[in-house]
A and B are shown apart, each in its own frame.
Chain A
Amino acid sequence: MADDDIVLGIDLGTTFSAMSWVNKYGKPEIIMNAEGKPTTPSVLHFYDQDACVVGDEAVKMVVIDPANVVRFIKRHMGEENFTMEFYGRSYTPQEISALVLRKLKDDASEILGQDVTDAVVTVPAYFNSAQRGATSEAGTIAGLNVLSIINEPTAAAIAYGVDQLGASRNLMVFDLGGGTFDVTVMAIQGTKLSTIASDGNAELGGKDWDDRLVNYVAEEFLQKFQLDPRDDAIAYQELYERCLHAKITLSSKDRTVVPVNYKGHRMVSNVERSLFEEVTRDLAEQCEHTSNIVLEKGNLTWPDIDEILLVGGSTRMPMIRELLARMSGKIPNTNINPDECVATGAALAGVFRHRPNHPALIAKRQGIVERARGVKKPKEDGGAPPAPKPTPPPPTAPRGAVIGLADGGIGATAASAASGKMNSLNDMEFEDATTHPLGIIVLDKQRLERVVELIPEGTRLPHEFRGRFAYAYDNMTAVRVEVTEGLGSCRDEVTVIGKVEVTGLPPRAKGTPIEVFYSYGVDQILQVRVVDVQSGTSRQVDITFKGGMSKSEVDAARQHARKMLVD
Chain B
Amino acid sequence: MPIDTRQMEVATEFCRVAGKGDLFEYLGLNPTCSAEEAQEALKRKRKYMQGMQSNPKYKTEAVQFIKNYTAFQAMLVDPSVYARDLANVHERKNLPVLEMSIKSALKGGDLSTEQVDYLRRNADQLGIGEDTFVGTLSKLINEAGTKLPAGNRQPSLPPMPSSVPRTVTPTSGQKTLERDPPPSASAAKTLDKDAPDDPYAVLGARRDMALAEIRELYHDRLRRARTLPRGQGEVVVAKLEAAWTRVAEQSTPADLSRRSTGPPARDRETGSEVSGQSSLAAPTAPPVRQRATQPLRRGTEEFTPVGEGSAPIGRRATMPTVPDHVTIRSASIIPGPAAPDNAGDIEIRGAATRQVRVMESAITLPLFLLFHVRPPPSARVTSSAAWLTAQPQRLDAGHEDHQLTIRIDPQSMPRDGGSATITVTTEAGASAEVTFEVERGSEKSRTALYIILGLFALLVALALVYLIATLALA
Contact A85 B50 (CB under 8 A): yes
Residue B51 interfacial (CB < 8 Å): yes
Q: Given A79-B67, A82-B67, A233-B48, does the pair A72, B54 have CB atoms closer than 8 Å?
A: yes
Which residues does chain A contribute within 8 Å of B48, judged by CB atoms?
A: 67, 233
User: Quick one: closest A residue to B67, CB to CB?
Assistant: A81
Chain B residues within 8 Å of A80, by CB: 67
Residues of A with C-beta under 8 A to B70: 81
Contacts of B46 in A (CB 8 A): 85
Q: Residues 76-91 of chain A: 1 if any B CB is under 8 Å from the residue's CB, otherwise 0?
A: 1001111111000000
**Which chain A residue shows the least CB distance to B71?**
A81
Within 191-249 of A, Cβ neighbours of B (below 8 Å) are at: 207, 211-212, 214-215, 218, 228, 230-231, 233, 236-237, 240
A207 proximity list for chain B (CB < 8 A): 54
| B58 touching A66, Cβ below 8 Å | no
B57 near A83 (CB under 8 angstroms)? Answer: no
Which of B52, B63, B68 contacts A233, CB < 8 Å? B52
**B66 lies within 8 A of chain A by Cβ:** yes
Contacts of A81 in B (CB 8 A): 67-68, 70
**With the chains together, A286 CA to B50 CA distance in Å?**
29
Tell me, rounded to whole Å, the shortest Cβ–Cβ distance linking A121 to chain B: 23
Report which of B54, B58, B66, B68 forms a contact with A71, defined as CB distance below 8 A. B54
Selected from A71, A85, A215, the residue in CB contact (under 8 A) with B56 is A215
A237 CB contacts on chain B under 8 angstroms: 51
Residues of A37-84 whose CB lies within 8 A of B: 66-67, 69-72, 76, 79-84
Q: Which of B54-78 contact A (CB under 8 A)?
A: 54-58, 63, 66-68, 70
Complex contact A233–B67 (CB within 8 A): no
What is the 8 Å Cβ interface bit string for chain A, positions 239-268, against chain B (1 contact, 0 not)?
Answer: 010000000000000000000000000000
Bound form: Cα–Cα A85–B51 in Å: 11
Is B54 in contact with A67, judged by CB distance below 8 angstroms?
no
Which residue of chain A is the closest to B52 with respect to CB atoms? A233
Chain A residues 70-116 with CB under 8 Å of chain B are 70-72, 76, 79-85
Q: For B68, give the chain A residue with the smallest CB separation.
A: A81
Query: A84 and B55: CB pair below 8 A?
Result: no
Interface string of B138-171 (1 = CB under 8 A from A): 0000000000000000000000000000000000
In the bound complex, residues from chain B placing their C-beta under 8 Å from that of A218 are 57
Given contacts A67-B48, A233-B48, contact A228 B54 (CB under 8 A): no
Q: Does B374 contact A (CB under 8 A)?
A: no
The CA of A491 and the CA of B291, in the complex, are separated in Å by 61
Tell me whether A66 and B67 are in contact (CB under 8 A): no
Structural contact, B51 and A66, CB atoms closer than 8 A = yes
Contact check, A230 vs B68: say whether CB atoms are below 8 A apart.
no
A67-B47, A85-B50, A233-B48 are known contacts. Are A211 and B67 too (CB-CB below 8 A)? no
Most buried by B among A79, A212, A236: A236
* Least CB separation from A62: chain B residue: B51
> In the assembled complex, which residues on chain B have CB atoms less than 8 Å from the CB atom of A233?
48, 51-52, 55
Do A230 and B56 contact each other (CB < 8 Å), given the known contacts A67-B51, A85-B50?
A: yes
- Assess whether A230 is in contact with B47, with CB atoms less than 8 Å apart: no
Q: How far is the CA of A218 from the CA of B55 in the complex (A)?
A: 11
Q: A215-B57, A218-B57, A230-B58 are in contact. Are A83 and B66 (CB under 8 A)?
A: yes
Contacts of A215 in B (CB 8 A): 56-57
Check A228–B51 contact: CB distance below 8 A.
no
Minimum CB–CB distance for B227 against chain A, Å = 35
Interface residues of A in 140-159 (CB under 8 A from B): none
A67-B47, A67-B48, A233-B48 known; A84 and B66 CB under 8 Å? yes
The reply to whether A230 and B67 contact each other, CB–CB distance below 8 Å, is no
For B58, give the chain A residue with the smallest CB separation: A230
A-chain residues with CB within 8 Å of residue B67 when the two chains form the complex:
79-82
**C-alpha gap A68/B68 in the complex (Å):** 20
- Smallest Cβ-Cβ distance to B55: which chain A residue: A236
B50 touches A84 (CB 8 A): yes
Taken together as a complex, chains A and B put the C-alpha atoms of A84 and B66 apart, in Å, by 8
Contact residues in B for A66 (Cβ distance below 8 Å): 51
Residue in A closest to B59 when the chains form the complex, CB atoms:
A211
Contacts of A240 in B (CB 8 A): 54-55
Whether the Cβ atoms of B63 and A82 lie closer than 8 Å is yes
Q: Give the complex CA separation of A211 and B47 in angstroms.
A: 21
Given contacts A81-B70, A82-B63, A83-B66, contact A228 B50 (CB under 8 A): no
Residues of chain B from 184 to 208 with CB closer than 8 A to chain A in the complex: none
Within the complex, what minimum Cβ distance (angstroms) separates A430 from chain B? 34
Shortest CB distance A314–B (Å) = 16
Cα A242 to Cα B51 with chains together (Å): 17
Which residue on chain A has the smallest CB distance to residue B57? A230
Q: How far is the CA of A237 from the CA of B57 in the complex (A)?
A: 12
Complex Cα gap A212–B51 (Å): 19
A214 to chain B: which residues have CB within 8 Å?
A: 56
Report the bound CA distance from A294 to B51 in whole Å. Answer: 37
CB within 8 Å of B: which residues of A? 66-67, 69-72, 76, 79-85, 207, 211-212, 214-215, 218, 228, 230-231, 233, 236-237, 240
A sample of 20 more A-B contacts (CB under 8 A), given A214-B56, A240-B54, is A66-B51, A67-B47, A67-B48, A67-B50, A67-B51, A70-B50, A71-B54, A80-B67, A81-B70, A82-B63, A83-B66, A85-B46, A211-B56, A215-B56, A230-B55, A230-B58, A233-B52, A233-B55, A236-B55, A237-B51
User: Could you write out 20 A-B pairs with CB less than 8 Å apart?
Assistant: A66-B51, A67-B47, A67-B48, A67-B51, A71-B54, A72-B54, A76-B63, A79-B67, A80-B67, A82-B66, A82-B67, A84-B50, A84-B66, A85-B46, A207-B54, A218-B57, A230-B56, A230-B57, A236-B52, A240-B55
User: Which 6 residue pairs spanning A and B have beta carbons closest together?
Assistant: A66-B51, A211-B56, A233-B51, A230-B57, A67-B51, A81-B67
